[in-house]
Amino acid sequence: MVTKKKFFWITIVWRREYLFAIIFLFVCGFFCGLTRRDEPVDAPSLLPSAVAGKTIIIDAGHGGFDPGAVGRSGLEEKTVTLDIAKRLKRYFSRVGVYVIMTREKDIDYSAMPEAGALTKKRRDLLYRVRMANESNADLLISIHVNSFPQSIWSGAQCFYDSELPESKRLAEAIQNSLVTRLGPNRRKAQSADYLILKATKIPSVTVEVGFISNPREEELLADPEYREKLAESIFYGTAVFLTQEARSAAPVATTAGGGAGGTLTAKVYPELTFPTLEPGTACLYFATPNNEDLSFKPEIRPLPELEEKSKLQKAQVILEELAKGPGEGSVLLPCLPGGNWVHGLRLEGTRAVVDVSSELGTFINGGGASEMMAIYSLVNTLAVNLNLNEVTILVDGVKNATLGGHFLLGEPIKPRPELGPTGAQTAGDTGNYLRR
Ligand SMILES: [Zn+2]
C-alpha cells in the first residue's frame, strides 16, 4: 500500500513539475524571442518570474458615447485605444499575467437618467477608477490618444501621478521602450493630474500613444501594424519595470483598494515663485511649440489700462487677452480658443472661481494634452497676475465637470509653475518671454 501511494504521489509530482516546466520554458522562450529582436545593447534582460503571476488592469480610454479625440480622417480615439488594449492583453496573457480590462467593447459607463455630456463623462471616469481600486491589480495601464489644437505636436508620451514613485518609474520604463522601439521622440514621462492616475491607489500610468491631431501620426495610428508595435512597446516597458522592481530592494507596491503598504510620499511641487510684474503689464501663459514636453512660456504683454482697474476687472481683461492668443509674430501656441468663453468670474480671497463655456470642449477635441494645457494656461495666468493660490473652474455652471474626459474639475486647482520655462529658449524666441 505504502509503495503504491508513494508511487502514485511521485507520479503526480512528476506530472505537475513537467507541466510547470513546459509553462516556464514557454514564458522564457517568449521573453527570449522578445528581447532578441533589435534590442539596444544595454537593454535589461527580463526576469520572467517578476512578470508572471501579476495582475494588470488595462484601461482603453473613452468609448460608447465618448469618442475621445477625433482625427481629420474621422479616426476616433476610442477605437484606437480599444484595439491597442486588446493587443496588449494578448502580450500579457502569453506570459502568465492576469489581465482585467475596463472595457472590451465600444461601451461607456455613464448609464444614468440625467442628461448632459459633462456629467456623463464624469460618471464614466469615476466608474473606471472604482474598477481599478476594487480590482486588486498590481498595476494600471490607461491607454489614450493625444490631441492638440495645432498639428505641430507628435510623439507618444507617458504620464504619471507624482505621489507614487513606482508610477514614475513605470512611466519612465514604458516611455523608454516607446522611444527605443518606435523611433525618434524627444518626449519624456511627465507628471499630470489625470483623474484615473490621481484617484487609483495602485501604481498607474497613462500612455498617450501619439497625437491624432498630427496628420502623419494619425496615419500611423490607423495602421494595425503600428498599433501592434505600440502594444509590444508598452508590454516590454512594463516587463522591464517589473524586472527592475523585483531586482531592487523595494518591490512594487500592491495597495489595491487603498490598503496599507507601498511607499507614499507627499506630493511636492516647487515653491510658487511668481514673477514680479511691472505695473501695466500682464503675464499670459501659452504653450511652447517644442515637441519634447508639455510646457508653457509666459508672454509679457503691456496693458497700461490695467493700472486703474479693480482686481476683478483686471482678471476679466487678462482672460480676454488670453483668449486673443499669443502676440503677433510669436512662436507660442494658444491653449484656449478666441471669443468669449467666460460665463462668470468671482474672486474669493486668494482664489478665483471661473465659470467657462462647455464650448471649450470642442476646442480641446478630446485630447489629454489639449485639456491639461487649457486648464493650466487659465490657472497659471490668473494666479500669476492676481497673486492667487488656486483657481476653481466650473463648466456651464456645473461643478465636477470634465472638458476632455481626463481631468475632473470642480476642486480648487493650484498653479503649476514647473510647467513654466525650462531649458533652452525656443527658435524664434525674441526674448519677449519671461525668464526665470
Ligand atoms: Zn483620451
pLDDT in tens, 46-63: 888 888 899 999 999 999
Number of structural domains found in the chain: 3
**What does the pLDDT average to over 80-98?**
96
How far does residue 407's CA lie from ligand 1's centre (Å)? 10
Is residue 424 one of the residues assigned to a domain? Answer: no
CA distance 378 to 356: 10
10 plus 123 within the same structural domain: no
Q: How far does the centroid of ligand 1 lie from the alpha carbon of residue 405, in Å?
A: 7
State in Å: Cα 77 to ligand 1 middle: 7
CATH number at 232 reads 3.40.630.40
- What's the pLDDT tens digit per position in 188-216? 999 999 999 999 989 999 999 999 999 99
- Judge whether 272 lies within some domain: no
pLDDT of 43 higher than 80: no
User: Which residues 6+ apart lie within 8 Å of 98 measured at CB?
Assistant: 53, 54, 55, 56
First to last CA, the chain: 85
Give the whole-angstrom CA distance, residue 82 versus residue 318.
Answer: 41
Q: How far apart are CA 338 and CA 325, in angstroms?
A: 7
Q: Give 34's pLDDT tier (boundaries 50, 70, 90).
A: low
Q: Which three cell numbers stand for residue 383?
A: 494666479
What cell does 80 get? 484606437
Average pLDDT value for the chain: 83
Give the domain extent around 408: 281-419
Whether residue 228 sits in one domain with residue 112? yes
Q: What is the distance in A from the centroid of ligand 1 to the CA of 394?
A: 20
Nearest Cα to 297, choosing from 149, 427, 159? 427
Q: Residue 401: what residue type?
A: A
Neighbours of ion ligand 1 (CB under 5 A): 61, 68, 144, 368
Indicate whether 92 and 228 sit together in one domain. Answer: yes
Separation between Cα atoms, residue 399 and residue 164, nearest integer Å = 27
**Quick count: other Cβ atoms within 10 Å of Cβ 254?**
18
Residues 28 and 44 in one domain: no
Do residues 93 and 168 share a domain? yes
User: Do 239 and 302 reside in the same domain of the chain?
Assistant: no
| Residue pLDDT, tens place only, 5-19 | 444 444 545 555 565
> If you measure from the C-alpha of residue 365 to the centroid of ligand 1, how many angstroms do you get, rounded to a whole number?
9
- The percent of residues in the chain predicted with pLDDT above 70, rounded, is 78
* Mean of pLDDT values over 303-319: 93
User: d(Cα 229, Cα 231) in Å, to the nearest integer?
Assistant: 5
> How confident is the model at residue 257, as a pLDDT?
38
140: β partners: 57, 204
How far is it, in rounded angstroms, from Cα 221 to Cα 144?
Answer: 11
Residue 150 is assigned to a structural domain of this protein: yes
pLDDT digits (tens, 9 = 90+) for 322-364: 999 999 989 999 999 999 999 999 999 999 999 999 999 999 9
Å from CA of 369 to ligand 1 middle: 9
Instruction: Give the per-residue pLDDT at 275.
Output: 65
State the sign of the Cα–Cα–Cα–Cα dihedral 66, 67, 69, 74.
negative
Q: Which tens digits make up the pLDDT trace of 225-274?
A: 999 999 999 999 999 999 999 988 554 554 443 333 333 333 343 444 55
Same domain (yes/no): 368, 410: yes
In the reported structure, the alpha carbon of residue 195 is separated from the centroid of ligand 1 by a whole-number distance in angstroms of 11
In a shared domain, residues 2 and 138: no
40 has pLDDT over 70? no
**426 is a domain residue:** no
| Count helices and strands in the chain by DSSP H and E runs | 11, 11
Q: How far is the centre of ligand 1, averaged over its atoms, from the C-alpha of 209 (Å)?
A: 10
Say what the pLDDT of residue 375 is: 96
Q: Is residue 349 part of a domain?
A: yes
Residue 4 has pLDDT above 50, yes or no: no
pLDDT of residue 294: 87
Q: And the C-alpha cell for 292?
A: 519634447
